[in-house]
Amino acid sequence: MNQELIERFVAGRLNEAEAEAFEEYCLANPEFARQVEYEQRLKAGIAQVARGSTAEFVRSNHHTARWNFAAAAGILLSLLAMYYAWSHYVPHAVKPLMAAVTTDEQRDGASLRLALVRGNEAAPALQKGLTRVEIVGLFDLGFHYSVTLDRLEKNKKVDTIATLYSQHPSSPVTLEVMIDSDRLQPGTYSLRVRRQASDEEPLDFGFVKF
């Protein structure tokens, strides 16, 4: 068996009989199967990364620095705008509806894990009080993310309630925010997570508040 045959199998270019014979050869040869699996995972990983955008594949090295500078400038402007809004419009006594996770007490408190799970059609329920919402997905630690809280009305209208910018993932697969559940009306909500300074598709996570 050679590399070309592995490539043809992984690309789905063998006919069914050839593919089945290839698979049985893999079962009888575990080390060869591992080689095939790496090829399958490389292809799957590329498809997964390209799901939102293929920018990472086509960027030139020269553009990287420019995009990094643009992202940094964007973040700085967002921070300045947020500080201006905070200092001019937000009464300091008001607790925010949605905020970043900043203390150990928040980390140890009530939490809700949001992940789009295969076959799961029931939206999770947000408990009462201040709750840490753990969003599970694929995040890049080198980027900042915006998190938008939308209320989904019955007439399909989407009402944006709050947006947090410049959130940093706590791990490559987790991003966390605090939500004050008591300030939400009962209904169906969606958290939309978007990587800033990119054209990657946002991720949507639904939940309900009773």
Q: Does 74 bind another protein (CB under 8 A)?
A: no
- Give the x/- contact pattern for another protein in 105-124, rule: CB under 8 A: ----------xxxxx-xxx-
**Residues 205/190, Cβ–Cβ less than 8 Å:** yes
Under the binding rule (CB under 8 A), the answer on residue 163 touching another protein is no
What CA–CA distance (Å, rounded) separates 44 from 50? 10
Using the rule CB under 8 A, is 66 a contact of another protein?
A: no
- The residue within the footprint of another protein, chosen from 12, 65, 92, 210 (CB under 8 A), is 12
Per rule CB under 8 A, is residue 46 in the interface with another protein? yes
Residue 36: CB atoms within 10 Å: 20
Question: Based on CB atoms, which residue is closest to another protein, 30 or 91?
Answer: 30
* Cα 103 from Cα 108, distance rounded (Å): 9
Residue 162 in contact with another protein, rule: CB under 8 A: no
CB of 171 to another protein, least distance (A): 11
Under rule CB under 8 A, residue 23 binds another protein: yes
Is residue 98 involved in binding another protein (CB under 8 A)?
Answer: no
The distance of closest approach from Cβ of residue 126 to another protein in the complex, given in angstroms and rounded to an integer, is 14
Which residue, 9 or 177, is less far from another protein as judged by CB? 9
Pairing of strands 174-180, 111-114: unpaired
Closest CA to 179 of 134, 136, 138, 124: 134
Query: Which member of 53, 130, 170, 204 binds another protein (CB under 8 A)?
Result: 204
Residue 201: CB minimum distance to another protein, A: 8
Instruction: Confirm or reject binding of residue 51 to another protein (CB under 8 A).
Output: yes
Burial 139-158 (b: 16+ CB within 10 A, else e): beeebbbbbbbbbbeeeeee
Report the residue from 11, 76, 85, 125 that binds another protein according to the rule CB under 8 A. 11
Q: Which among 193, 202, 188 has a CA at the least distance from the CA of 124?
A: 188
- Residue 202 is classified by DSSP as P
DSSP 174: E
